[in-house]
Amino acid sequence: MTGKPHPPSLRAELESLKAQIRRHDRKYFIENQPEISDPEYDRLLNRLRQLESDHPEWVTPDSPSQRVGGGRLERFEPVRHRLPMLSLDNTYSEEELRAFDKRVRKFLGAGQVAYFVELKFDGVSVSLSYEGGRLIVGATRGDGRTGDDITANLKTVRSIPAALTASSKAGLPRRMEARGEVYMPRAAFEAINRQREKAGLPLFANPRNATAGSLKQLDSRIVAERKLAFFCYGIGEREGGGALGSQAETLAYLKSLGLPVNPHGKRCGSIEEVVAFCREWERKHRQLDYQVDGMVIKVDDLAFQRKLGATAKSPRYCIAYKFQAEQARTRLERIEVQVGRTGTLTPVAILTPVALAGTTVSRASLHNADEIARKDVREGDLVVIEKAGEIIPQVVEVVKSERPAGAQPFRMPGRCPACGAGVIRDPEEVALRCESLKCPAQLKERLIHFSQRTAMEVEGIGDVVAEQLVLTGLVKDPGDLYTLRKEELLQLERMGEKSADNLLAGIAASKQRGLARLLFGLGIRHVGAASAEALAAAFGTLDRLSGVSEEALTEVEDVGPVVAASIRAFFNSPENRKVLKKLEQAGLNLQAERLEVRSGRLQGEIVVFTGELERYTRSKAQELVRRHGGRVGSGITKKTTLVVAGSDAGSKAEKAGELGVKIISEKAFLKRIGEGE
């Protein structure tokens, strides 16, 4: 070809690429019959991205390129479900299934009822609203009535179509809410945990937690990397698209629209057929490359379903049958005691490796000394272990008849296994705790916590490097990171020039993370990421925060007396003050991300919200308070100066009345800050 193709042909190429990619997505994710290799697929996608970056005006929201994720949100907005998303009643035995069938038949006055039986996917249920065939909103279940708007995250899931296909005879619905389960395939789950282990991040206990954790990310670019998938199992509300008479027809219809429907569902003419089908999958479900925790049994006929209706919690026309957790027996070789970030001593069972539910298990959690005493677990015992939908197995019981002669009851060590310092029993918990400030095991865990992605995001500090830095004495607290020199790093084993440079660059870059992430990274007891953010927003600088009273702290959203006392104790400690000084001298950004201030209209006010707001979400309204110079309180106290009452304000408003605090409506509040219409 000679010369450059002119734009119209580029435009045609772009449209054709989009169509090809969508088709291959469908082949791969929905029909499970890929036609091209992954590199070929990537070539198509890269070409599309290139054309779109040359012509940003051609990018449409449903382009397959948009699956990479759009960027960071401030928070998720609430979405009210038009029809509530209910939950399922569980059964654990065949008898209970037969009893369910009896109830159903009695209610319907029917001799025999047909059921549609599906796998119960162990993930996170979501609702996808399509309008005119396009995905408009995707939401979590939330409390069943209101969920979170996670559209941007769901768009990164490649088996969720951004647009429905109109191949069905019944045609596209004008509006339809598709419901189903987002899940993480086993292979993706294992890969992500391997990565996290390397980075020194806590592991996800099971694919469901990994899915939930991924969907909660505010940055959809992270979600795009997580390789989530989706199965559609039902319809919420629908307008248009023809009549449907059964669950079997519903699934066929969803499939015709291009939604991924699991192929293993089956219509069963009687409860005995249902029982046999459940038994069959109980035997073979572990061969699937995704986790299922049971079966869902639904009355097939939709007219019957409507007749049966629902209780407040769950529909009467369906029920879950949960699989028994798989168990194995193995020898408990010894009990190892690990020391966590806060000094907690956790006993772990080291097992003779044994195959269980698709993986080889060599460790199991024993939780704490009380748990060991309760089960009377001893070193050398033959134990029964189980994975109850968890990847981290538990010791269920000891086979006492197989106990080796002379096995002794286990005693937790009286000293810290890492540093030899004395241990104390935490009065709030059953756990034992090493109190030494210099314990290397704690230091290492604290350093990993400080460096993790959601805290200071120090690239290059994972399990191995953290351990080396602590054991060589180069780092005694996070403050030491910022004075590390290259010559020092080069003394560490397997640390080359390049890794040292990268590590130093990672450390330098982390200086800019801001107050909220620093506060979280410092690992103050009871201060999680959310309260760290609230504290940073309320006080603005580390300097101010370190000097405020416990009372002032409790005025911050989600900070109760226990948290406030813990924060005060942290800042009162001379050791900690030294660390903070080092961080300051290293030039860390110790300020909260600045909110643009709009006015001082709420100067001096401590505002508490109660009831449901109409115009803004709770957090948006709180942000407005801060933007207008006020502070946000969580509960009503003598200090509260203003209560904004939405609908159903309830007990907080009553209390405000008793305390004589001024109560205003949402409208009046908006007017007061000049944000009303």
Identity of the residue, 318 or 625, whose beta carbon is nearer to ligand IVH in the bound complex: 318
State which of residues 10, 205, 252, 320 lies at the interface with ligand IVH (CB under 6 A): 320
| CB 272 to ligand IVH: min, Å | 21
| CB 396 to ligand IVH: min, Å | 23
Question: Which among 86-94, 95-103, 164-172, 201-209 is the span making contact with ligand IVH, rule CB under 6 A?
Answer: 86-94
| CB 313 to ligand IVH: min, Å | 9
Tokens of 414: 């009286």
- Residue 144's Cβ-count burial label (10 Å; 0-12, 13-18, 19+) is middle
- DSSP letters, 641-652, are -EEEE-BT-HHH
The Cα–Cα gap between 206 and 387 comes to: 10
Query: Is 121 among the residues that bind ligand IVH (CB under 6 A)?
Result: yes
Question: Which among 85-93, 273-281, 601-609, 663-671 is the span making contact with ligand IVH, rule CB under 6 A?
Answer: 85-93
Identity of the residue, 144 or 560, whose beta carbon is nearer to ligand IVH in the bound complex: 144
Is residue 120 part of the annotated active site? The answer reads yes
Identity of the residue, 183 or 669, whose beta carbon is nearer to ligand IVH in the bound complex: 183
Identity of the residue, 314 or 641, whose beta carbon is nearer to ligand IVH in the bound complex: 314
- Indicate the DSSP class of residue 146: E
Identity of the residue, 162 or 261, whose beta carbon is nearer to ligand IVH in the bound complex: 261
| CB 129 to ligand IVH: min, Å | 17
The Cα–Cα gap between 625 and 608 comes to: 10
The Cα–Cα gap between 116 and 102 comes to: 16
Q: Are 643 and 659 in contact (CB under 8 A)?
A: no
Count residues contacting ligand IVH (CB under 6 A)? 15
| CB 227 to ligand IVH: min, Å | 19
| CB 323 to ligand IVH: min, Å | 13
Question: Which among 83-91, 166-174, 536-544, 620-628 is the span making contact with ligand IVH, rule CB under 6 A?
Answer: 83-91
The Cα–Cα gap between 541 and 535 comes to: 9
Identity of the residue, 118 or 467, whose beta carbon is nearer to ligand IVH in the bound complex: 118
Query: Is 296 among the residues that bind ligand IVH (CB under 6 A)?
Result: yes
Identity of the residue, 153 or 451, whose beta carbon is nearer to ligand IVH in the bound complex: 153
**426 to 465: interface string for ligand IVH, x by CB under 6 A:** ----------------------------------------
Residues 481-540 that bind ligand IVH (CB under 6 A): none
Residues 91-120 that bind ligand IVH (CB under 6 A): 118, 120
Query: Is 637 among the residues that bind ligand IVH (CB under 6 A)?
Result: no
Residues 616-635 that bind ligand IVH (CB under 6 A): none
| CB 292 to ligand IVH: min, Å | 8
Q: Which residue is nearest to ligand IVH (CB)?
A: 125
The Cα–Cα gap between 360 and 357 comes to: 8
The angle, 0 to 180 degrees and rounded to 10, between the axes of the packed helices 271-284 and 94-108 is 150
State which of residues 86, 212, 350, 565 lies at the interface with ligand IVH (CB under 6 A): 86
Helix H or strand E encompassing 335: strand 326-339
- DSSP letters, 461-506, are -SHHHHHHHHHTTS-SSGGGGGG--HHHHHTSTT--HHHHHHHHHH
Query: Is 664 among the residues that bind ligand IVH (CB under 6 A)?
Result: no
Of 82, 86, 79, which is closest to residue 150 (Cα–Cα)? 79
Exposure string of 391-407, with b = 16+ CB inside 10 Å and e = fewer, is bebbbeebeeeeeeeee
Tokens of 420: 């030899």
Other CB atoms within 10 A of residue 3 CB = 5
The Cα–Cα gap between 390 and 478 comes to: 33
Identity of the residue, 288 or 320, whose beta carbon is nearer to ligand IVH in the bound complex: 320
| CB 161 to ligand IVH: min, Å | 19
Tokens of 167: 């191949």
| CB 310 to ligand IVH: min, Å | 8
Query: Is 212 among the residues that bind ligand IVH (CB under 6 A)?
Result: no
| CB 318 to ligand IVH: min, Å | 6
Question: Which among 80-88, 276-284, 612-620, 644-652 is the span making contact with ligand IVH, rule CB under 6 A?
Answer: 80-88
Query: Is 88 among the residues that bind ligand IVH (CB under 6 A)?
Result: yes
State which of residues 64, 173, 234, 347 lies at the interface with ligand IVH (CB under 6 A): 234
Query: Is 125 among the residues that bind ligand IVH (CB under 6 A)?
Result: yes
Of 507, 469, 460, which is closest to residue 489 (Cα–Cα)? 469
Of the residues 4, 18, 27, 120, only one is catalytic, namely 120
Residues 11-40 that bind ligand IVH (CB under 6 A): none
The Cα–Cα gap between 340 and 446 comes to: 8
- Residue 354's Cβ-count burial label (10 Å; 0-12, 13-18, 19+) is middle
| CB 235 to ligand IVH: min, Å | 11
Identity of the residue, 234 or 393, whose beta carbon is nearer to ligand IVH in the bound complex: 234
Identity of the residue, 125 or 499, whose beta carbon is nearer to ligand IVH in the bound complex: 125
Residues 174-203 that bind ligand IVH (CB under 6 A): 181
Identity of the residue, 86 or 191, whose beta carbon is nearer to ligand IVH in the bound complex: 86
Instruction: Say which amino acid occupies 266.
Output: K
Identity of the residue, 234 or 540, whose beta carbon is nearer to ligand IVH in the bound complex: 234
Query: Is 480 among the residues that bind ligand IVH (CB under 6 A)?
Result: no
Residues 299-318 that bind ligand IVH (CB under 6 A): 314-315, 318
| CB 124 to ligand IVH: min, Å | 7
Residue 500 CA, chain-centre distance (Å), reads: 33
Exposure string of 243-269, with b = 16+ CB inside 10 Å and e = fewer, is ebebbbbbbebbbbbbbbbbebbbbbe
- Indicate the DSSP class of residue 72: B
Q: Find where tokens 């088996």 sit.
A: 159
The Cα–Cα gap between 123 and 194 comes to: 20
- DSSP letters, 575-640, are HHHHHHHHHHHTT---BPPPPPP---TTTT-EEEEESB-SSS-HHHHHHHHHHTT-EE-SS--TT-
Identity of the residue, 251 or 653, whose beta carbon is nearer to ligand IVH in the bound complex: 251
| CB 314 to ligand IVH: min, Å | 6
3-state secondary structure 374-412: HHCCECCCEEEEEECCCCCCEEEEECHHHCCCCCCECCC
The Cα–Cα gap between 412 and 417 comes to: 10
The Cα–Cα gap between 229 and 248 comes to: 22
Binding site for ligand IVH (CB under 6 A): 86-88, 118, 120-121, 125, 181, 233-234, 296, 314-315, 318, 320
Catalytically active residues are: 120
